[in-house]
Structure 1
Amino acid sequence: MNFGFTEEQLELQEMVREFVAKEITPIAGEMDAENATRPELFKMAADMGLLNVIVPEEYGGLGLDSVTVAMMYEELGKGCAGVATSMAANALATAPVLLAGNDEQKRMWCDILNEGGLAAFALTEPGAGSDAGGVSTRAVHDKEKKTYTLNGTKAFITNGGIADIYLVFANTRKDGGIRGLTAFIVPKGTPGFKVGRKEDKMGIRPSNTCELILDNVVIPESNRVGREGQGFRIAMQTLDSARPFVGAVSVGLAQAALDVAVAYAKERKQFGQPIASFEMIQEMVADMAMKIDAARLLVYRACAMRDEGVVFTKEAAMAKCFAADTAMEVTTNAVQIMGGYGYSKENPAEKRMRDAKIMQIYEGTNQIQRLVIANKVMY
């Protein structure tokens, strides 16, 4: 096992770190208050190649390995988990096309990302979250016209209101269920495809999250990704690939919270001495540091397994679950260490605590992750 990194990996990590420190961290609080990301950030991110990190070289991307991508997402998570989520959504939405799309679909999709475009992964619905088989959006096939007509509503879609291209899951069977779940490419501006309500969220507020409405949306047969009924497998494989990246953002979020808490503990004095000298504070800091490091290693292991092409469903679930739980615990303890100052909106600690909660919820709740892990261990 090699725990070292290449010179190229370290250079990319430092590049993202500098970008975060200069362009994201200083305005993270303002974007949180505005419930939106500054559009110029996406332009700068595109110029740096942060919007097409998983696009293979043959399709115009950098062809980065998963460990390198995780390193970059960790740095983005340190600056703002909301911005990191929007950028990581491009990888989430692209994975199904790379997994099951044909060459024409891959080139079309990747060209959009290479040009700085944003993508969205539209699976969740008002009545279908963890239960992907509950998707009720319908796709009716017209074999003569070689088209599909989509009708339904999607909910809590990251980049929903700002994406240029969408990967939408719909059911081709009247009675629903996972056997009819199918993936489709829906370009922005397709007639009948509308952006609904924008969510006013507790955390990751700079990340655009919207409802999507499909009202008789007609798309060509050529926009179907994979076969009819293959959507559930595509979605599950995609989530396996994406979960370590959620873990990476969680690790960055937690690391940033620890760094701020430690700096505060060294300066804040009580009873005539810095609170960093108190054993209770030291114990909290030690536990926070250990769990962050363990989470980081779980993330890297899952990413390395993905790159090796071996089955990593259990490891992906472990990485996401442990890292998300760690982010929630560490950010909560950071606020505790900083007391009333940490609870104030003038300090980034409370924002990180709000941001951390979603890590335990999206891309499969941590309860679902535990079911996945238990199933792989026991059966």
Structure 2
Amino acid sequence: MGSAFRVVRSAHTTPEAERAAILAAPGFGRYFTDHMASAVWTPDAGWHERRVGALEPFSLHPSTAVLHYAQEIFEGLKAYRHADGSVWLFRPERNARRFARSAERMGLPRLPEADFLASIEALVRADEPWVPAPTGEESLYIRPFMFAAEAFLGVRPAERVVYCVIACPAQPYFSSGAGGVTLWVSTTYTRAAKGGTGAAKCGGNYGASLAAQTEAERHGCDQVLYLDGTDEEGHVEESGAMNLFLITSRGELVTPALGTILEGVTRDTVLALAPEFGLTPVERPVTFRELRASVTDGTVTEVFAAGTAAVLTPVTGIKGEGYAFTIGSSEPGKQTAALRERVLGIQYGRVEDTYGWLRRVLGP
């Protein structure tokens, strides 16, 4: 099976002056590059029609399976420009493997890791001028996705599947940056259950989270803190689209165990870096009652969320029905800030990558 993505350059690329204006203030997910990568799967031909071409709309029949049965998955990763002008990806192999696991859970065909990596690299090369030269934390956000493209009504795995990669220049996901966010503990909504799709990165998980996010915003919070039940006796799971971490006075870095939550790439990165900062990584269940009591008595000194889009985001406060409490002094913690700087330092080439996490796409 080949993994070469033939490039057919768009005849209508964004003018340089317009692109420069976008890159000066891209926001997040608002503007897209000139090209997209794509491939098609059918049972008889497997993966074929690999190409990079102009960014363009899909034409879908009203009965297209994804519109009715949500058979879809996606990933999120970034390309970073270093000071010497080179462009790098950060641990894309882990995204490729998670993409394959998500596909299996959602009854979609497995995309070979070589195809996943080749499609992303081909798109980044085609749209290299869109990779920002960072003045802060700008990057090129990359969104690979796969969906059931067969036109039919019937509950079965689709026999025509489309894979695509698009990209957008991006600033930090939260406007507060490293300043911290407040979480709302939802006792109305849960995000996943044992045996469900919580460990898969599929659109349905995020669609189901929108009502909970609206609830959080209505209470003046930035994100949701999900429990595995609808009362405060439940276990802590995730913060919106991010994994959650607790730093304790005993020098532990605690994060909820996998099973019903997403196996985040940034999550794994932070766990690997923890010993460098004198922290012992611990993956175990954490009840909300334990979290609240440990913050109150000072056992938990810092809380942060981690994800590709948000990097490491300090959690400075938690609210729920009839209560609110702050984390530490309600300011971002020193160890959270140090971990955040280390992750960003590796990604942007400011510190040595001793783990072999970076993958060069362009440049010296």
TM-score by length of 1: 0.28
TM-score by length of 2: 0.28
Q: Which has the higher contact order (CA 8 A, sep 6+)?
A: 2
